[in-house]
Structure 1
Amino acid sequence: MKDTALPLSPQSTSSQGGLVVRTNQGAEPGLGMGPLQEEPLAEGLAEAGSHPWALVRRVLTTLLLLGLLLGSSVLLVYTFGSCGPRPCETPVCLDLLAQYLASRNTSVDPCSDFYSFVCGKTKGSINSFQALAEENRVRLWRILEAPRAWPPGSGEEKAFQFYSSCMDTDAIEAAGAGPLRQVIEELGGWPLSGNWTSPDFNRTLRLLMSQYDYFPFFRAYLQPHPTLPHTPVIQIDQPKFDVPLKQEQEQKIYAQMVREYLNYLNQLGLLLGGAPDKVQEHAGLSISITSRLFQFLRPLEQRRAQVVTIAQLQEMAPAIDWLSCLQAMFTPMLLSASQPVVVHDLEYLRNMSQLVAGLQLRHREFLQSHMILGLAGSLSLALDSKFQEAHQELNQRLREWMERPPVPPRPRWMECLEKTRTFFEPTLAALFVHEAFNKDTQKAAMELFSDIKDTLLARLQRLPWMNEEARNEAQDRVTRLQVKMGAPEWALEAEQAAQGYPEVRLGPSFLQSVLSCVRDFRARVVRSFLQPVPHHRWRVPAWGVSAYYSPSDHVMVFPAGLLQPPFLHPGYPRAVNYGAAGSIMAHELLRLFDQLLLPGGCRACDCDTCGLQRALLCLERHYAALPLPGGTSFNSSHMLLENVADVGALAIALQAYRRRLLWHRGETTLPRLGLSPQQLFFQSHAQMMCKEPWSQGPQGQHSPPQLRVHGPLSNTPAFARHFHCPQGTLMNPTSRCQLW
């Protein structure tokens, strides 16, 4: 049925929403139209004639409709146009852009060498993790340098006062050797000082260990019990020496290094006011004692740790009063003769005891000098420039004889910062987290980890080499995992700062401040071991850049220092956060399954282990086929677990990023790079490995950076797709390995 638009035809009109709707007479009610009323022709002509604006109204209505359509079209074009990635031009994004532009080499084909494409112009021998550690150190330095007013007696006030006293070199120079001479008098003096009281050997040893943190004949420290991780146990090990072990050097080189150490001891004795002839005699006998102790040492592979009681140890090495020395060292622990301790080289302790017993009988003054000279060397960095320069010269000469490159002297602020962050870690952790890990950053990190974990759980459902039992066990491990980010809870508690380290007494000299902090620090370590479970004991400081997994506590830790630019920032494009920090998180999560990947480790996998072993062998061959700069070769078979985690981490982070884009619109990218968000994801992932070209040498547990970039990316089809890599290029091989 057609509507009739003739103006002279009988019609009816109804107004709907301002529009005129015309209908024919006789229209069927079934079309939903209301009853029609007839209109006389005369009235229709009269209405037409009496309204000259009717035609104008129709034109305006048509124009209005066209305007609405045009406006809608413009709105749709704007809306769909704005759905694409917008350039991020905030200061944090521009800083990241500058870093990317400074390191990338666009003359390199990304499909043939993506590492050089991303890192080809990198300057410096440190990678992004090491650079971030340096940045965190500078951030701590700026915190300590900023003038602030703290509550009297608070932890912040003491930390800042300690740092300031360390930087006050004028006061340290004015004090000279006086503070150390006072310490020597407290220990009973020594023959070269002219005030020799021949104190009891074990009293001196007890004071050296408990008050000055110096161990001339053995080391004692606390570690978790090997089978009871929340139970502390005292460890007794060989001491540390300033001179490298003889067995590690050639005879001629070792003899020269001993002469350098003898010269150093002579300098210490002279700085303390000893007569030159007496100093030379006692320094020579101190070297002789050290050489004898060297002879008792055994290589690490020949040592065998064993558990004995303090009473048993007393019988085996009777020259040392073990109970009194260890009790003074580990207060507030209550020790008894039946206390078990772990001894790492019992034969060394027996021989050391015989040597000490003989010296007590015949050369007690030389034994005292040996301990005093060693203490002076250990405290030299807290004394004036003459002691520090002597120590630095010894280190440089030893490095020359060992054919190691010289280490330039560090600025004073670095030395002071290192001491301050050691003694006042709780305070600096809280200040660092407050500045560098605010609520927005913490929220972004937790959301990212949640996405990574959920993606891993989903992928576990599809692993062909896992049967149902193994899959359920793996998912349970991921679900039960605890994650901690930022800093330990105890470091962020307000009462920790309010307590203000009551055992720390600063002054009157910087050396006395250092010694007071040493005693307080050791007491805090002991108390932390005595805390009830289930508190996890962090292995890294808040400003650290290393994540780790603790199997005993089933806890994964990401310190605040790691979750920083250029790896993570709430204002970064998501591609950057997922490609960098997301890959780091996924890598750590996959370390939960290291045991499964070892031969026979997946007992519940049954015959499906065949597929697992084929995938592992495929990955090993995949890495072996990747070239290294200059035609060098590298055997990465012993790094298979790390390579597996690298490959799986990239796959999980990429899938998590895709899922995030699917449900959350509004992605951004970095301007001037010419990279899509997906390409930016791979750029940020590879950027973490950037450093100067790798040369053959020890790499620790990781493959060279080129392999850590090319291995996972060439095994990822999405990379070749987004960078349009031709088949058969390095980054788009003909075959890939399917593991995670």
Structure 2
Amino acid sequence: MDAESGNSRDVDRDMESRGETQRDKDRAGSNPSLYRARRQQHGLEEASPQEQSRRWSPLGRTLGTLVFFGLLVAFSVLMVYNLLGCSPRPCQSPACTALLARYSAASNASVSPCADFYSFACGGWGAGDPPGVGYSTFRTLEEENHNRLQKLLEAAPAPSPGSAAEKALGYYRSCMDTVSIETQGIGPLSQVIQQLGGWRIAGPWRPPNLNQTLKLLMSEYGSFPFFRAYLGPSPEPPHELVIQIDQPELMIPSQDSQGNYPQMLRAYLAYLTRLGTLLGGTPDVAGNHASMSLSISSMLQKELRSLEERRAGGRLFQPTTVAQLQKEVPIFDWLSCLRATFSPMPLEPSQTLVVHDLDYLKGAAQVIQQLQEQARGSDALQSHMLLGLVGTVSPALDSRFQEARRNLSRQLRALDARDPQPPVPRWRKCVQETGTFFEPVLGPLFARHAFGPDTSHHAAGLFSEVRDALLRRLQRLQWLDEDSRARARDTVASLRMEMGAPEEMLKLESVDQDYQDVQLGPSFLQTVLSCMRSLQARKMRRVLQGSRSHRWQVPPWAVSSYYSVSDHVVIFPAGLLQPPFFHPGYPRAVNFGAAGSIMAHELLHVFYHLLLPGGCPSCDRTFVQEALRCLRLQYEGLRATPDNSSRTLLEDSADVGALTIALQAYRRHLQLQRGETTLPDLGISPRQLFFLSFAHVMCGRPQPEDPRETHSPPPLRVRVPLSNAPAFARHFNCPPGTPLNPLQRCKLW
């Protein structure tokens, strides 16, 4: 009512005012002056056009000009804002220029992205390169990281005398001193053989004691001819380190390997014979001993069981004690051998062990016992153990041993139809070995040069955004019930992430104490053996110290990330977060598409157990199984040869989910931070660049599929995730029904 009354009064006043104005006009006919006076009194004087122009013209023009220029400035500011915020600017930094060159060289624009995006992104990879060069993006990055390490070693200033840094530099220089290695010849190796009891074909010898020789091989030379012994996490929580006894890494390939198996055996026979002749034996005698060693390897191989067989039979992790193992396999002196190998760990007969294949150990013991009962059985066992040792230490020997190994590799690669690999340059072998023995020295050095504060800050921010995207994604998964969803969120929230280099490695002020036992010389072989013993001693000291921090499984310059189930931590070494996968100055589409998808893949490893039977009883198992079946059929339909994809299914699901999560993180990032850049001259949008970067991670030369590989071939790791991403088809305008825009998609993550 009040509003209506107020409106009524306003109308009345308006009508009254209009009436008064009309009366004034009527009076103006007799007295115009009076009318103008009355109008001035009300402030509503109505002047003639000429009068208005004369009175308001200067002020009007000024106001109009100000308004016009104000609108012009506002429009300009709006246009600049839109250009900066919405239109991508070309990135022309040196990092982007180098990345553009990589992408341009790898791509093949003649292929339709909707038909085969892997060929579109990677079809030109390695064109014109000799075989083995440009094997993959990961191998290329690995090579670049080793190049950086080489430069750091060769440009290093003179370190303090006796320091670990001086010994690391001394090792590298000794490794590169091929003149001295050639001059010494087989002399250093002959001394080692004599310490092990000698060898009939190489001079004086005495009948060996099997366990005495075995103990020396394991503890002093890191050689395991009949079984492997190492420290590994227990399969049960809290996953403490425990001694594990596993199958040996036999020199010869398995019978189910690709290629012509009889010809492979002949190639190994020729290689072992060559080793015997290099050590002083005649071709006939050396060939006889090589044949005996090969026969032992074949007999041991028949006792091996595949991983699937052992897992199915519950024989993969068999807890036992040293005393129990001694009863089961009495031919080996377990306590003596293990005490020497894992010194200074105190070992007693009650010490718990984990055995990975007890049936193999029993079978190997029978093989050895049968040989010992034969006339020349001791000769055969000694030859087998010493030839295995020569294979282990051959990298420290002269060029004749190197060439024998290269000849074997070339023959094997040709027989199994794989792309032949070029010889590894000497400098790279020396960099790798220096890194193995002196990782605490080289690790911080590499991290400081390749993973500075700016790179570290941006990489950590990228991981946080990817993790947040995963948390948001968990809210939308149809197959998770609320309790499982809450546990999944807690699992992600409690996950630790380590990046660059181990924190304890970066905080160490000095590692000199750990390398006091390293002796350089008098030969390179003796230097290598000293470093091997020192490395094993350091590992054992860390175990005895009982550090609860996660022990990295890769060095800081590695190009592989991983998730540790036992410590619930994901690791991203500095060597992985390098161009072309990551750079602070890259367009954000590149970082999210490449490094972001790698991070998302590792995060999804946390949830593998949910996909396994019984891993999530309260989840919608029908939905999960149908989604996994859909993925399996997609991958199987694209393989060159029929294959059951269950071996790669978990990794396949992570590939598909990683793309979804990385893309969601990128979209969110653009919503919060405007101003994207792109690579010039490619003619693609930032969203298209995201998918191109995702695919470029997998670029490489075609290789036969390894039946032991847990990942699908790279082309499938690109095609299947993209075909299940509607956004890809939308941004590349793929017509429905094309390979990358199928009518049906699999929905899991």
Q: Greater shift after overlay, 232-241 or 713-722?
A: 232-241
Deviation at 1:604, TM superposition (A): 1.7
Letter in 2 for 1:551: V
State how far apart, in whole Å, the 2-side matches of 1:445 and 1:557 are.
12
Of the three residues 345, 354, 363, the one matched with 1:348 is 363
Secondary structure at the aligned position of 1:157 is classed as helix
Deviation at 1:128, TM superposition (A): 2.3
Deviation at 1:211, TM superposition (A): 1.7
Task: Classify 1:316/1:105 alpha carbon distance in 2 versus 1 (closer, same or farther; 3 Å).
Answer: closer
Deviation at 1:398, TM superposition (A): 5.6
Of the three residues 498, 501, 512, the one matched with 1:484 is 498
| Equivalent in the alignment of 1:333 | 345
Of the three residues 550, 555, 562, the one matched with 1:548 is 562
Deviation at 1:692, TM superposition (A): 4.1
Letter in 1 for 2:126: K
State how far apart, in whole Å, the 2-side matches of 1:512 and 1:639 are.
43
Task: Classify 1:657/1:357 alpha carbon distance in 2 versus 1 (closer, same or farther; 3 Å).
Answer: same
State how far apart, in whole Å, the 2-side matches of 1:735 and 1:636 are.
19
Deviations 1:318-367 (A, max 9, x none): 554332222111111011222233343231343255257547x9876776
The answer to whether structure 1 residue 295 and structure 2 residue 299 are counterparts is: yes
Letter in 1 for 2:446: F
Could you tell me the TM-score, scaled by structure 1's length?
0.83
CA contact (8 A) 1:452 1:586 kept: yes
Deviation at 1:53, TM superposition (A): 14
Of the three residues 86, 109, 130, the one matched with 2:112 is 109
State how far apart, in whole Å, the 2-side matches of 1:620 and 1:257 are.
38
Q: Greater shift after overlay, 185-194 or 160-169?
A: 185-194
Of the three residues 683, 704, 710, the one matched with 1:674 is 683
Deviation at 1:91, TM superposition (A): 0.4
Deviation at 1:623, TM superposition (A): 5.0
Q: Greater shift after overlay, 365-374 or 550-559?
A: 365-374
CA contact (8 A) 2:106 2:122 kept: yes
State how far apart, in whole Å, the 1-side matches of 2:501 and 2:666 are.
27
Letter in 2 for 1:347: K
State how far apart, in whole Å, the 2-side matches of 1:403 and 1:707 are.
21
Secondary structure at the aligned position of 2:458 is classed as helix
Alignment map for 1:273-672 (pairs within 5 Å): 276=282, 280-281=284-285, 284-285=288-289, 287-288=291-292, 291-292=295-296, 294-297=298-301, 298-301=303-306, 304=315, 306-343=318-355, 344=357, 345-352=360-367, 354-355=369-370, 358=373, 371-397=385-411, 406-499=420-513, 501-605=515-619, 608-621=620-633, 636=645, 638-672=647-681
Deviation at 1:166, TM superposition (A): 0.3
Letter in 2 for 1:346: L
Secondary structure at the aligned position of 1:604 is classed as coil
Task: Classify 1:108/1:366 alpha carbon distance in 2 versus 1 (closer, same or farther; 3 Å).
Answer: closer
Deviation at 1:624, TM superposition (A): 5.8
Of the three residues 221, 227, 235, the one matched with 2:244 is 235
Task: Classify 1:527/1:106 alpha carbon distance in 2 versus 1 (closer, same or farther; 3 Å).
Answer: same
| Equivalent in the alignment of 2:158 | 149
CA contact (8 A) 1:246 1:254 kept: no
Q: Which runs of 5+ in 1 are unaligned?
A: 3-8, 11-22, 29-47
Task: Classify 1:154/1:54 alpha carbon distance in 2 versus 1 (closer, same or farther; 3 Å).
Answer: farther
State how far apart, in whole Å, the 1-side matches of 2:613 and 2:385 are.
51
State how far apart, in whole Å, the 2-side matches of 1:451 and 1:435 are.
25
CA contact (8 A) 1:155 1:498 kept: yes
CA contact (8 A) 2:218 2:341 kept: yes
CA contact (8 A) 1:320 1:353 kept: no
Could you tell me the TM-score, scaled by structure 2's length?
0.82
Paired residues in the alignment total: 689
Task: Classify 1:493/1:259 alpha carbon distance in 2 versus 1 (closer, same or farther; 3 Å).
Answer: same
State how far apart, in whole Å, the 2-side matches of 1:324 and 1:490 are.
34
Secondary structure at the aligned position of 2:618 is classed as helix
Deviation at 1:409, TM superposition (A): 2.5
Deviations 1:285-307 (A, max 9, x none): 56436524642541314764644
State how far apart, in whole Å, the 2-side matches of 1:289 and 1:116 are.
46
Secondary structure at the aligned position of 2:511 is classed as helix
Deviations 1:594-629 (A, max 9, x none): 222234432122xx444444444444455566x67x
RMSD: 3.7
State how far apart, in whole Å, the 1-side matches of 2:630 and 2:97 are.
41
Of the three residues 704, 708, 732, the one matched with 1:723 is 732
Letter in 2 for 1:88: C
Deviations 1:16-68 (A, max 9, x none): xxxxxxx965569xxxxxxxxxxxxxxxxxxx9xxx99987875665455444
CA contact (8 A) 1:260 1:398 kept: no
Letter in 1 for 2:516: P
Secondary structure at the aligned position of 1:342 is classed as strand
CA contact (8 A) 2:233 2:566 kept: no
Task: Classify 1:390/1:654 alpha carbon distance in 2 versus 1 (closer, same or farther; 3 Å).
Answer: closer
Deviation at 1:167, TM superposition (A): 0.3
| Equivalent in the alignment of 1:80 | 82
Task: Classify 1:354/1:316 alpha carbon distance in 2 versus 1 (closer, same or farther; 3 Å).
Answer: farther
Deviation at 1:584, TM superposition (A): 1.4
State how far apart, in whole Å, the 2-side matches of 1:108 and 1:283 are.
54
Deviation at 1:712, TM superposition (A): 2.2
Task: Classify 1:701/1:312 alpha carbon distance in 2 versus 1 (closer, same or farther; 3 Å).
Answer: closer
Deviation at 1:267, TM superposition (A): 1.1
Task: Classify 1:537/1:356 alpha carbon distance in 2 versus 1 (closer, same or farther; 3 Å).
Answer: farther
CA contact (8 A) 2:418 2:703 kept: no
Letter in 2 for 1:179: P
| Equivalent in the alignment of 1:16 | none
Deviation at 1:177, TM superposition (A): 2.2
CA contact (8 A) 2:329 2:362 kept: no
Task: Classify 1:103/1:381 alpha carbon distance in 2 versus 1 (closer, same or farther; 3 Å).
Answer: closer
Task: Classify 1:263/1:643 alpha carbon distance in 2 versus 1 (closer, same or farther; 3 Å).
Answer: closer
State how far apart, in whole Å, the 1-side matches of 2:58 and 2:571 are.
75
Deviation at 1:90, TM superposition (A): 0.3
Deviations 1:543-564 (A, max 9, x none): 2222222222211112222211
Q: Greater shift after overlay, 436-445 or 182-191?
A: 182-191
Deviation at 1:218, TM superposition (A): 3.7
Of the three residues 237, 240, 260, the one matched with 2:270 is 260
Secondary structure at the aligned position of 1:235 is classed as strand
CA contact (8 A) 1:648 1:739 kept: yes
Q: Greater shift after overlay, 75-84 or 440-449?
A: 75-84
Deviation at 1:481, TM superposition (A): 1.1
State how far apart, in whole Å, the 2-side matches of 1:61 and 1:138 are.
69
Secondary structure at the aligned position of 1:214 is classed as coil
CA contact (8 A) 1:111 1:731 kept: yes
| Equivalent in the alignment of 1:45 | none
State how far apart, in whole Å, the 1-side matches of 2:250 and 2:445 are.
36
Alignment map for 1:52-67 (pairs within 5 Å): 63-67=65-69
Deviation at 1:251, TM superposition (A): 8.6
CA contact (8 A) 1:548 1:558 kept: yes
Letter in 2 for 1:513: T
| Equivalent in the alignment of 2:4 | none
Deviations 1:457-502 (A, max 9, x none): 1222222222211211111111111111122223323335343611
Deviation at 1:578, TM superposition (A): 1.0
State how far apart, in whole Å, the 1-side matches of 2:434 and 2:272 are.
31
Letter in 1 for 2:78: L
Secondary structure at the aligned position of 1:495 is classed as coil
Task: Classify 1:446/1:635 alpha carbon distance in 2 versus 1 (closer, same or farther; 3 Å).
Answer: same
Letter in 2 for 1:299: L
